Structure 1
């Protein structure tokens, strides 16, 4: 019975070689040590940790990428607003009591610019309003199309057109008050931004890494990072709308007021000049945020590469080494089959002799 026992051992050995060959063939095909955690024991726990870290960093990178795209749209919008402010300042420089003919043309251009500003402050990235604070689903200026008939613009128009001798300072104060007013029916901005949570809420921020949120959000009715100076509402957007609404309300007949008209224009020019500075600060601060996020995303990408290398060492096979083992196993299996064939040709009589 010794022969049958030997044959059984040969069969068992061949079965093991076939299993090993199947495993090596699959490893050559997909490059992985196995499909189950047990195939990479005792490094399974470390592999799970590495993969979780990679997934977390890839999520951060994706979120940062979307935020950077939104910031690009915001920068483009801020640049357009800056261009409008610069042009308005240039218009204001040419408006004075001695240039009666230029007042009407400047007023007409200012009306168009005011409408454009309202639309720009409703700019969107995808379906999100950029200047809406945390309220990204509703326009920060609900009725931008009719900005000229808003309470703010109507009050500014009335104050400017009511200019009389010696009243330039009072008119400026009135336009400032109208632009600063958050009362419903006066402010063109949404209730959320004016008197709701948006009036005091923190800027929108993006989770850039573990425990690190980077603020990037903007508001239509108040500054996010820029600091407005001079005779200001404290908001470059409000100041820009105030300056444009003031220019738009002027009429050629007011040139007859002489120095009083010019005094009001001095205030308008300075306000628009300060506005361009406020927008530039906002652009600069957002640019710093963009650079910061780009740096964090780069760090995530570089660390992810290192993590992938470590994970590869745990989960993946060495192709050259695996091919060598496959070849050797194939040779062993062929030899085993030959041995089984020879053993099987022996008859029972030969075993019993």
Structure 2
């Protein structure tokens, strides 16, 4: 009878203690996980009343990070573009110096040297316009996967047409040659010598700048388009790069036989006028790139602040209070130890222990 009573009493209490022990063990495991990971739970479902806030904040942080990556990509692109435009501007400045030496009485050797320099510059200009950054062409605008220059500038059909026009100067005036070569450079036919997307007027080309998303319904321009510019005039195609290309092609077509003629001098002076506009246009482009760079720097700082604020909010929702966790973990460990002691003592109890 005593054994039955003891067994019954121990069995009922033991079951309750076992349940309490399992619950305390689970609580201890959770607290230990919080102490080791620093977060209340790796499972959003167990965050309680802060779950909704955490679920909303995490994708917001991911979105801000994505925008910041776009800004970084654009900044890298602009850095390369600015450097390349600077090299093209240096080329234009050097051409101005060359044209100054070609005015007046010059030797056939000087003209031949200028022609060879222009041909070399044409090759360099084509390579610069096809510069890539991150696998995309920086002067192609929206069509960044397509090279802006589709053929070698010095051997293009445009270069050949300009050469034929310059050779005909003896049969016409220099003003006719300047007008005709300018008209040829304005040609927006595909592969003359630009890709299909860039073979358009300068104003339309300017609208094809690559756009980068940097915020909700917010985009910024990143770079320039090779053929962009303003409305054409009697001395310019409207595009600084098209004008530089045309001027180089004309100089590359000059022959030593042209030295000393009145038409030759007028032709060079006409190129000087156009090329002065080229250097000014490239300076404006460099300035616009600088404005884009400054804007992106400000945007990057703002996004960094936004991400920090959102991360702080997410931390408030998810991060564990380690000081509080330490106290709770200690209390739970003590309760577990007490439960183990009770269960151990109950095993030796008899009916007399209940009386």
Instruction: Say whether residues 1:122 and 2:130 are aligned partners.
Output: yes
Instruction: Say whether residues 1:313 and 2:316 are aligned partners.
Output: yes
Q: Which of 291, 314, 337 lines up with 1:334 in the alignment?
A: 337
Q: Which of 302, 305, 316 lines up with 2:305 in the alignment?
A: 302
Q: Which of 216, 232, 236 lines up with 1:232 in the alignment?
A: 236
Distance 1:149 1:165 in 2: 24
Cα distance, 1:312–1:167 mapped onto 2, change above 3 Å: same
Partner of 2:96: 89
Per the TM alignment, residue 306 of structure 1 is displaced from its structure 2 partner at its CA by 1.1
| Unmatched segments (≥5 aa) in structure 1 | none
Per the TM alignment, residue 268 of structure 1 is displaced from its structure 2 partner at its CA by 0.8
Partner of 2:106: 99
Contact 1:7 1:344 in 2 (8 A): no
Cα distance, 1:298–1:84 mapped onto 2, change above 3 Å: same
Distance 2:188 2:195 in 1: 9
Instruction: Say whether residues 1:17 and 2:24 are aligned partners.
Output: yes
Q: Which of 226, 242, 246 lines up with 1:242 in the alignment?
A: 246
Instruction: Say whether residues 1:135 and 2:143 are aligned partners.
Output: yes
Aligned residues: 345
Contact 1:236 1:278 in 2 (8 A): yes
Partner of 2:228: 222
The 10-residue stretch of structure 1 (204-213 or 266-275) with the greater mean CA deviation from structure 2: 266-275
Partner of 1:55: 62
Distance 2:84 2:299 in 1: 25
Task: Within 5 Å, give how 1:162-311 maps onto structure 2.
Answer: 162-164=168-170, 167-184=173-190, 187-194=192-199, 202-223=208-229, 231-258=235-262, 260-311=263-314
What is the RMSD computed on CA atoms of the aligned residues? 2.3
Distance 1:267 1:195 in 2: 25
Distance 1:227 1:72 in 2: 27
Q: SS where residue 283 of structure 1 aligns?
A: helix
Per the TM alignment, residue 287 of structure 1 is displaced from its structure 2 partner at its CA by 1.5
Per the TM alignment, residue 70 of structure 1 is displaced from its structure 2 partner at its CA by 1.4
| Unmatched segments (≥5 aa) in structure 2 | 1-7
Q: SS where residue 194 of structure 1 aligns?
A: coil
Per the TM alignment, residue 112 of structure 1 is displaced from its structure 2 partner at its CA by 0.6
Instruction: Say whether residues 1:32 and 2:32 are aligned partners.
Output: no
Cα distance, 1:23–1:265 mapped onto 2, change above 3 Å: same
Per the TM alignment, residue 221 of structure 1 is displaced from its structure 2 partner at its CA by 2.4
